[in-house]
A and B are shown apart, each in its own frame.
Chain A
């Protein structure tokens, strides 16, 4: 089922007749299992990149027996080209707080945390007050749940859920081995739901509008809508909520400058789609899944520079814990520099591609595993630009 581009307004919608707090009051009256069924029925998948079904995540955590459980909102947003979570935090924070509180009610948690990247600390000036008011309101209502802010300190890898827990525990942000998954052993090794900012707002909105209306949007594999961060060579950069399942061609017709030669979908760790593939690339979990970053490059841009920039990013942000990623990122970067200079023959790119295959299998976390996405999609589609 192919969709066309459609703008929607769910995340930022301000419904005067039904505030987030009214949604909370209503939802807390419902049985927890019913809320989980609604979320599963809605088809909502995580908006942080990995796309795990949210209803199942909550259900697994609810099923764990433990006195202490946690809800964590992942607001680390470090993927290059992504800035939608900041806008959500700034404009509709109450919807996030409500989503976390509903989650806490469902799984049985008394503490929640919002782990926000240090680069967004300026938001705290207004957010802390709003959170204090919200916590006070919960206490007044007799809801046994409180939310706290935690700040990051400039490490992209801390957006990876297990690295985020390590950081909250006062350690280096080095990802853990999985399993165990967070639903079993997350923060402080207790059962934990960790969701992206946007995912939590959608849970609030699904409780508000019901799974049926959410399901009407999107495709079988990608239900609903998603907030996109659009940047690069576009006359209208910014944040847009769009229905999932549209072809990239529709997207570029709306947002391109008429001269787009490639779109990097999903940030530095995502895939580069060249112009000739715009029409048959679907934006959604069946095509190219995305955390929402859409960087547009027109024909004046060097794709070598783009790839170089991404590889530099990964080399700097790799936590360095496992060799395939630590050394792999460095070698990929040095490798394309050598090919560009002519110190290595063009065929060396094939060796580098093999290296990304090794990294995909052997790296410990999503960072090292996904470096091959930008590398292969740029090298395959823009080989001449890398070599000459």
Chain B
């Protein structure tokens, strides 16, 4: 059994073998592997005894349940109006230049994916970005670059 299959088996065991566990199981996979591979979805379908079309149909609905490969660190910069007014474009441009990728792309070393997101719920402290589960409010270009720098230092 592959590591993905073992992980799925374990997630299903912990969350329960019912359709209601589908979201936590898919979320658990994304936590480990950054996205939902075909193998992972096939394995979920088998473990939960539902059709793989159902798994894909659910996964493809949710922004955070990616079905295409993503980097280890997923950056989501808020693009909604108040963050826009506070200068999210400069932040996005700076990150894009520093990482040498456009919004929606992943760096070749698979360390970072740069995305935008709808309102992250920090309008009083914009601009703001989410990296994986961690939130960084009150951004300036310098701050954003420092934060990315710190992530690149982390062990791969």
Indicate if A335 sits at the interface (CB-CB under 8 A): no
Indicate if B80 sits at the interface (CB-CB under 8 A): yes
B82 near A313: Cβ-Cβ < 8 Å: no
A69 to chain B minimum Cβ distance, whole angstroms, is: 16
Q: CB-nearest residue of chain B relative to A118?
A: B64
**Residues in B neighbouring A78, C-beta threshold 8 A:** 118-119, 121
**Interfacial residues of chain B within 44-75, with CB under 8 A of chain A in the complex:** 57-58, 61-65
Indicate if B6 sits at the interface (CB-CB under 8 A): no
Indicate if B135 sits at the interface (CB-CB under 8 A): yes
Select one of A154, A167, A239, A268 contacting B63, CB under 8 A: A154
Indicate if A172 sits at the interface (CB-CB under 8 A): yes
A317 to B84, CA, bound (A): 18
Known contacts A168-B20, A170-B20, A171-B58; is-contact A316 B121 (Cβ 8 Å): no
**Interfacial residues of chain A within 70-107, with CB under 8 A of chain B in the complex:** 77-83, 86
B65 near A232: Cβ-Cβ < 8 Å: no
B30 to chain A minimum Cβ distance, whole angstroms, is: 8
A306 near B23: Cβ-Cβ < 8 Å: no
**Residues in A neighbouring B81, C-beta threshold 8 A:** 80-81, 232, 295, 305-306, 309-310
Indicate if B85 sits at the interface (CB-CB under 8 A): yes
A118 to B80, CA, bound (A): 17
**Residues in A neighbouring B134, C-beta threshold 8 A:** 122
Indicate if B22 sits at the interface (CB-CB under 8 A): yes
Indicate if B42 sits at the interface (CB-CB under 8 A): no
A195 to chain B minimum Cβ distance, whole angstroms, is: 19
Indicate if A342 sits at the interface (CB-CB under 8 A): no
Indicate if B7 sits at the interface (CB-CB under 8 A): no
Select one of A117, A118, A150, A229 contacting B123, CB under 8 A: A229
B27 near A80: Cβ-Cβ < 8 Å: no
Known contacts A153-B65, A155-B62, A309-B80; is-contact A169 B20 (Cβ 8 Å): yes
B residues bordering A, Cβ < 8 Å? Answer: 18-24, 26-27, 57-58, 61-65, 80-82, 84-85, 117-126, 130, 133-135
Given A151-B27, A295-B81; 16 other pairs, CB 8 A cutoff:
A77-B121, A80-B81, A81-B81, A83-B121, A83-B123, A117-B121, A118-B27, A119-B120, A119-B130, A122-B134, A170-B23, A172-B57, A268-B80, A295-B82, A305-B81, A319-B61
A residues bordering B, Cβ < 8 Å? Answer: 77-83, 86, 117-122, 150-156, 167-174, 188, 229-233, 237-239, 268, 295, 301, 305-306, 309-310, 313, 316-317, 319
Please name 14 pairs of A and B residues whose Cβ atoms are closer than 8 Å in the assembled complex, sorted by A: A80-B82, A83-B123, A151-B23, A151-B27, A155-B61, A155-B63, A168-B20, A188-B20, A231-B82, A231-B124, A237-B124, A295-B82, A301-B85, A313-B119
